[in-house]
């Protein structure tokens, strides 16, 4: 299965998420 990375480049906030085992996981800011 291909790896999927989703990126949302908003004007105020940005967000990234990945698919792990069929479930979406949001990567939080550190």
Query: pLDDT (tens digit, 9 = 90+) per residue, 1-30?
Result: 678 889 999 888 889 999 988 889 999 875
The domain total for the chain is 1
Residue 23 to residue 13: CA distance in whole angstroms: 23
SS3 29: coil
pLDDT confidence of residue 1: 66
Return the structure tokens found at 19.
């698919």
pLDDT confidence of residue 25: 92
Q: What pTM value is reported for the model?
A: 0.57
First to last CA, the chain: 28
What strand order describes the sheet that includes 14-20?
5-9, 14-20, 23-27
Domain span at 26? 1-30
pLDDT confidence of residue 21: 85
pLDDT confidence of residue 18: 93
């Amino acid at each position: 299965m291909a790896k999927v990375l989703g990126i949302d480049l908003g004007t105020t906030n940005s967000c990234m998420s990945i698919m792990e085992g069929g479930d979406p996981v949001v990567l939080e800011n550190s």
